[in-house]
Amino acid sequence: MRGLIVTSFRVLILIVIFMAGAAATVMAQPSGKGPGTVRIVASFYPVYIMARNVAKNIPGVTVTSLTPSVSGCLHDYAVTVDDLKKLAGADVFIVNGAGMESFLERVITQFPRVRVVPLAEGIPLIYGKGASGPNPHVWVSISNAILEVRSLSVAMEAIDPVHAKGYRKNSDEYILELERLRAQMQSELAPYKGQKIITFHEAFPYFAREFGFEVAAVIEREPGSDPSARELAETVDVIRSSGIRTVFIEPQYPLGAAAAIARETHVRVLTLDPAVNGEDDDGAYIRIMRKNLEGLKDAFSK
Ligand SMILES: [Zn+2]
């Protein structure tokens, strides 16, 4: 069934590309895409916000997100025909990589002319216990987000040299803001180094390492599927034996299992946001991290 859907997507895309080609031939003029125009498509929210910042105010450069912001993490996300239409007109496809975009190989084959820029490349990756691949949530560490913004800028400077100075200026400014944020968080979270945290899904190991926390347990082991009774019992055991008083949920996912754990152990439930969706705004990542800072201080100071 899934194979059939994939095949029909391919046929549809081929038809769309063929029709677009035919229309361009008939009109003899490339429509809507003048010289100096660069269309950037970013795979999902965190890399979309980076691309918005790096391409800010550069004439002729547009940034869109392949997936709707409500999608959250892309674990097992199935690209839609609407998503793929955006790539048909793209010049550059910005992705996180490290396994986050499970559909990447297919997209590369379908759109061989689109330049793919994987931002996590070169970042040392964390492998979890028994995990089949690396943990892809690198951007949740501000240091890694800075590396990704720098990679994005370097790639865009090479792809679109006419606007190289603009990309560099924008990325320098954004990185400066990110460095200030990191310094503020490092100083305000310093008293809580070594604290154990329980997070909703496996999104925080890079964040935890950056600020000296230990992820003692993760509620949802498989993204998108409820924990088994045994896994829930294990998490409850970790809370009881470690004296943890707070469980962190993510705004993208329902309370479900966390509420059950809280009933069982009387821990508080607070929010920690992996910045996988939010407002369509350049400052969104920084605002989300500031909220995370407040949430953590709240959790540990009481
Ligand atoms: Zn995730």
Query: Do 61 and 155 have their domain in common?
Result: yes
Residue 286 lies inside a defined structural domain of this protein:
yes
Domain end (from 149, 167, 183): 183
pLDDT of residue 302: 72
What is the percent of the chain where pLDDT is above 90? Answer: 77
Q: What angle do CA 187, 191, 197 make, to 5 degrees?
A: 105
Residue 6 lies in a domain: no
If you measure from the C-alpha of residue 91 to the centroid of ligand 1, how many angstroms do you get, rounded to a whole number?
27
Ligand 1 center to 24 CA (angstroms): 40
Which pLDDT score, from 0 to 100, does residue 226 have? 85
Is 41 in contact with 92 (CB distance < 8 Å)? yes
Domain stops at, among 183, 211, 239: 183
The H or E element spanning position 83 is helix 81-88
- Say whether both 148 and 207 belong to one domain: no
- Say how many Å lie between the CA of residue 73 and the centre of ligand 1: 5
Number of domains in the chain: 2
Q: Tell me: do 54 and 169 sit in the same domain.
A: yes
Read off the pTM.
0.87
The string of pLDDT tens digits covering residues 186-228 is 999 999 999 999 999 999 999 999 999 999 999 988 777 789 9
The CA-to-CA distance between both ends of the chain, in Å, stands at 52
Query: Tens digits of per-residue pLDDT, 100-150?
Result: 999 999 999 999 999 999 999 999 999 987 767 899 999 999 999 999 999
Verify that 41 and 176 share a domain, yes or no. Answer: yes
Whether 220 is covered by a domain: the verdict is yes
Q: How far is the CA of 276 from the centre of ligand 1 (A)?
A: 8
| 38: β partners | 61
Question: Domain holding 284: CATH number?
Answer: 3.40.50.1980
Specify the pLDDT at position 9. Answer: 52
Residue 221: the pLDDT is 80
Mean pLDDT, the chain, as a whole number? 89
Ligand 1 centre from 260 Cα, in Å?
21
What integer pLDDT is reported at residue 8 of this predicted model? 55
Residue 161 sits in which domain range? Answer: 37-183
223 Cα to the center of ligand 1, angstroms: 7
Q: Which of 139, 166, 183 lies at the terminal end of a domain, its last residue?
A: 183
Q: Is residue 22 part of a domain?
A: no
Helix (H) or strand (E) holding 154: helix 142-159
